[in-house]
Chain A
Amino acid sequence: MNKTVNQKAWFLVLPVIVLVAFSAVIPLMTVVNYSVQDTFGNNQFFWAGLEWFDIMLHSERMWNALGRQLFFSCIILLIEVPLGIFIALNMPKSGFWSSFCLVLMSLPLLIPWNVVGTIWQVFARVDIGLLGYTLSAIGIEYNYTQEAFSAWATIVAMDVWHWTSLVALLAFAGLKSIPDAYYQAAKIDQASRWAIFRYIELPKMMGVLMIAILLRFMDSFMIYTEPFVVTGGGPGNSTTMLSIDLVNQGFNLGPKAAFSIMYYLVILLISYVFYTVMTNMDKKEGK
């Protein structure tokens, strides 16, 4: 769409700016303030320069949390993206069963995050949960409150359960936008199922898949509630993700603020990639 230049449009966006500035800029400035100051209590602060950043950058605890976080995000992407595409390819294209699948698949996406945690907590417990009970009964050693590997398996399974449908729904939307003519041409050329996927479906899905991957990466990068409810970051620190580690810093203002700033900068960077992808897609559509 060809837009016209109109500076008065600023008045239309002004309420949004005021509101978001109030709930984003003021808190962020507080964080910036704390990150460069030290305190002896009594609300007396003095300049500490970049000391906190220096300390945090050498903090083994933060690097460990970051390592776990990246590991977690990579695992769930490696599972959810291929699985989501696979599910989308197998979904009924139209009719009653299509709606049926859409409704049931959307259900996990709309469950409050702490309840997702609760669901998996009771599902995976060895004494009362279907999954934990069954696994123990067939002789697999599994106890997510005691053993790190079980805890990891549980939160990965939980995230796959929670979010694979989102990837599938996005991929499905991409598939549905492919005109029938492409498939007919492939039929005439006697293309194999794999060739259809590789040369027609995958390229056409690329845009929405990029959105899905970035959304999943970003949201998994700030995951807090679900692992907090299920494992509380344990056993030990084995499932303490970045956000959990950050909240656990408590009122330790300086380090916490420095940590927050670095965390925020990473998010900012990924947001920029996301924004570029989105606007490129808009351009391609010629709007």
Chain B
Amino acid sequence: MSNNTARNSGFKINGSTIVMAMYLLFLLLPIYWLLNMSLKTNSEILNSFTLWPRDLTFANYATILTDRSWYIGYVNSLIYVLMNTIISLLVALPAAYAFSRYHFMGDKHLFFWLLTNRMAPPAVFALPFLQLYSSVGLFDTHIAVALAHCLFNVPLAVWILEGFMRGVPKEIDETAYIDGYSFGGFFIKIFTPLIASGIGVAAFFCFMFSWVEMLLSRTLTNVEAKPIAAIMTRTSGADGTDWGVLAAAGILTILPGALVIYFVRNYIAKGFALGRV
């Protein structure tokens, strides 16, 4: 292992390095351009074509962070995303345990049915959701969006957690029961710490999928719970688009993912593959 590390951290130029460098450049260039625009004034964006900001300004970020009608979008998004993550994990944990440990009537059908909801197109559900939540008086509330996102996040959490739980040997459960633990005590004191990384990954993916979704969150809100994605569209007004502020808003939405990315880097593939890699 140490041998390997030494060999790979010594930087030498070969075919692979060039391929990777080009690919990473392709990935980063559009993001750089957004960052570049967020630090420019609108007149610089529109009147001159510059590869980096000549007239560096943080005014676009200041606009967003001081104007309530802007930053409330981030607050709203964070509220329903966190609500959704907590709800999803709480209901998914016992269910995933049941799927990983027991056979019961209809278990396979149920597991499949959950998967179909992860794959359900939001466009199909947008209008019925709007009617459902309007009829129970939840339209334009955070909880409505949080519950709507449960449609795909609960199945996701169940599948990911089940993938992690099946890696824990069943003997641990049996030993704990013999030692006199109740199911609840065993689950909280012994089992949960064992699958802590799985819970972390499931939480991360619930957070991300709720954070990136726009169609449902936009359909189900109007004023009070309006997410940042919907607020961003207002930068294009009658007198043209406010490109600088739009770019700054975009950069700020990338931050939550970028901040935790290092800690989940080895689990990204596993999470997207529903715990199966």
Contact = CB atoms under 8 A, between A and B. Distances in A.
Interface of A: 1-10, 12-13, 15-17, 19-20, 22-24, 26-28, 30-31, 86-87, 90-99, 101-115, 118-120, 122-123, 127-131, 133, 161, 165-166, 169-170, 172-174, 208, 211-212, 215, 218, 221-222, 224-225, 242-244, 246-247, 251, 256, 260, 263-264, 267-268, 270-272, 274-275, 278, 281-282, 287
B5 interface: yes
A170 B269 contact: yes
A30 B8 contact: no
B269 to A, nearest CB: 4
A15 B91 contact: yes
Dominant SS at the B interface? helix
Given A23-B148, A110-B254, A225-B214, 12 more contacts: A3-B101, A5-B104, A7-B104, A86-B19, A94-B5, A102-B266, A102-B268, A110-B258, A127-B46, A169-B268, A263-B121, A268-B116
Contacts, number: 291
Contact of A98 (B8, B97, B212): B8
Nearest to A264: B124
A99 B118 CA distance: 29
18 contacts: A13-B95, A19-B150, A23-B151, A27-B129, A87-B19, A87-B20, A87-B23, A96-B5, A105-B27, A111-B257, A169-B269, A222-B121, A222-B123, A225-B215, A267-B120, A278-B274, A282-B276, A287-B166
B121 A119 contact: no
Contact of A119 (B30, B114, B115): B30
B250 interface: yes
A119 B33 contact: yes
Contact of B151 (A20, A120, A122, A222): A20
Contact of B273 (A1, A6, A127, A208): A208
Chain B residues touching A, range: 35 or more
A272 B214 CA distance: 26
A90 B20 contact: yes
B65 interface: no
Interface in B69-92: 87, 90-92
Nearest to B5: A95
A129 B243 CA distance: 11
A27 B155 contact: no
A190 to B, nearest CB: 21
B113 to A, nearest CB: 8
B224 interface: no
Contacts of A90: 15-16, 19-20
Interface string B241-261: 001001100100110011001
B232 interface: yes
B223 interface: no
Contact of A7 (B105, B117, B170): B105
Interface in B93-140: 94-95, 97-105, 107, 110-112, 114-117, 119-129, 131-132
Contacts of B128: 26-28, 30-31
A17 B33 contact: no
Nearest to B117: A24
Contacts of A10: 98, 104-105
Contacts of A9: 98, 101-102, 104, 107
A3 B103 contact: yes
